Amino acid sequence: MHIDNQAIDKFLAEWQIMKPGMLYGHAHSIFILCEALQQRGITLNPAGIVATSMMLIEQERQVIEEVCGIKVTNRYGCEEVSLIACECEQHHGMHLNTDHNIVEFLRDDGTPCAPGEDGRIVVTELVNFGMPMIRYEVGDRGVPSDRICPCGRGLPLMEHVTGRVADFLVATDGHKVAGISIIENTLTKLPGIKQMQVVQEEALRLQVNLVPGPQYGPETEARLVASLQEYLGTEVGVQVTQVARIPQEESGKYRFTICRI
């Protein structure tokens, strides 16, 4: 829940004693752990890694896999209906858990999305007889797929989760921008930014809280502001504040973007 150097030392000491087979956690928390281990030149060797509860960014996946020497298994679910989708050993997209749920991807007008088209995720759970959830709107968006996984399981695939509906930012022309795509094109591409959170406080005002890395400088900030304005509109004002850490939500999740409008 609170990852700093001291927590990482304690975690590593316990890891050596317990030698667990599985590294399981929030995607971004596993990344922060693995990035810190990479800087110290330490590797972990779990038999499996399951990243959950948050979107797994591709660049973060690469760091985790480098430090642990095996593939990350990404999964998607929620408290209300449990597991919705999970990668298999082929890591070829996430298989929908259709034994358990009917999963729909809907456009804003309620019609079904085509394969490859992003839409609202709506779930009907088939095994909960105490409190049936019928066409439950999870609050996430995702992309269905018509690809077939070579593993032969036959369960349909989804491409990926695009993000929490609440975490989409709104551009000046009214279109919505997935927070994750903003992060992928700033945090992971500009040198010198360790952690970042973008909060849209008002339509034309962004607050960026960031943890600077060693390479951070005025040029990083200028490129960051230009990049955010390119996504959301040149009229958008961007306030950048350097912080020591980005706090997690009460759930332990990090939110990369927050839309307050």
By CB under 5 A, is residue 86 in contact with Zn ion?
no
Q: For Zn ion, which stretch binds (CB under 5 A), given 31-39, 143-151, 166-174, 201-209?
A: 143-151
Q: CA 49, 54, 58: angle at the middle one, nearest 5? A: 70
Of 151, 199, 203, 246, which one interacts with Zn ion (CB under 5 A)?
151
| Residues 217-256, interacting with Zn ion (CB under 5 A) | none
Size of the site for Zn ion (CB under 5 A): 4
Nearer to Zn ion, 158 or 208 (CB): 158
DSSP H or E run through 39: helix 27-40
What distance in Å separates the CA atoms of residue 37 and residue 74, rounded to the nearest whole number? 21
Q: Which residues contact 40 (CB under 8 A, 6 or more apart)?
A: none
3-state secondary structure of 17: helix
Q: For Zn ion, which stretch binds (CB under 5 A), given 65-73, 84-92, 138-146, 234-242?
A: 84-92
Q: For Zn ion, which stretch binds (CB under 5 A), given 98-106, 145-153, 175-183, 209-217?
A: 145-153
Nearer to Zn ion, 55 or 149 (CB): 149
Nearer to Zn ion, 145 or 162 (CB): 145
- Smallest gap from Cβ 171 to Zn ion, in A, equals 36
By CB under 5 A, is residue 88 in contact with Zn ion?
yes
3-state secondary structure of 34: helix
| Complete DSSP assignment for 202-230 | ETTEEEEEEEE-TT--HHHHHHHHHHHHH
Nearer to Zn ion, 90 or 242 (CB): 90
Of 149, 182, 187, 208, which one interacts with Zn ion (CB under 5 A)?
149
| Complete DSSP assignment for 137-196 | EEEEEEEE-----TT-----EEEEEEEEGGG-EE-TTS-EE-HHHHHHTTTTTSTTEEEE
| Complete DSSP assignment for 102-127 | EEEEE-TTSPBPPTT--EEEEEEESS
Nearer to Zn ion, 59 or 90 (CB): 90
- Smallest gap from Cβ 22 to Zn ion, in A, equals 20
Nearer to Zn ion, 26 or 95 (CB): 95
Sign of CA dihedral 187, 190, 191, 193: negative
Q: For Zn ion, which stretch binds (CB under 5 A), given 25-33, 44-52, 90-98, 189-197?
A: 90-98
Nearer to Zn ion, 149 or 224 (CB): 149
By CB under 5 A, is residue 165 in contact with Zn ion?
no
Q: For Zn ion, which stretch binds (CB under 5 A), given 44-52, 141-149, 187-195, 221-229?
A: 141-149
CB environment 232-250: b (16+ within 10 A), e (fewer)? bbeebebebeeeeebebee
Site for Zn ion, rule CB under 5 A = 88, 90, 149, 151
